[in-house]
Amino acid sequence: MSPALSIAAGSDPLPTLAAQFFAIDALSKALPDGIGRAADDAAYDQWAAAADACYVVVPTTPAGALALLDVILAREVDFIDETAVKALRVLRGGLASMVRS
């Protein structure tokens, strides 16, 4: 990580919150079809709550911004048209490159 970024390690909760979201996301994708309306709703609510927990936090580091963007892309990709998704993915590439540098 570039010292120029002066990133305060651990000061941004978003990477952790995003990891929690993606853990729930993976579990939710592994659920069998037809588990029942109540179980489906409960799984969705848990998944949405984990995403909402990320949305209410403003990133304070590039790693946090990247984590938030990943959650936005994962949650909203079906509701955003292809052009916009492509623009966000390009931006994600620049952000990821910055975080890695």
Partner 1 sequence: MQTRSRRAVVATALAGLVAGCAPVALASTSADADLIRLGGEFDRAEAELLSLWREWRRCEVLWRETVTARGISIEKSEDAVWAVHEEVGATAASNANDAGIDRLDRIRDAIHEIKPTTIAGLAAWAKAARFDGTSHYEREKAPEDRDFQTAAILDFIEVVEAMAAQAARS
Site residues for partner 1, window 7-46 (CB under 8 A)? 7-8, 11-12
Choice from 20, 25, 60, 74 touching partner 1 (CB under 8 A): 60
Of the candidate residues 17, 18, 50, 65, the single one contacting partner 1 (CB under 8 A):
65
Q: How far is CA 26 from CA 19, 23, 47, 77, in A?
A: 10, 5, 10, 16
Q: Does 74 bind partner 1 (CB under 8 A)?
A: no
Hey, how many other C-beta atoms are within 10 angstroms of the C-beta on 85? Answer: 15
Q: Which residues contact 50 (CB under 8 A, 6 or more apart)?
A: 17, 20, 21, 24, 25
> Which residues contribute to the site for partner 1 (CB under 8 A)?
2, 4-8, 11-12, 52, 55-62, 65, 68-69, 72, 76, 79-81, 83-88, 90-91, 94-95, 97-98, 101
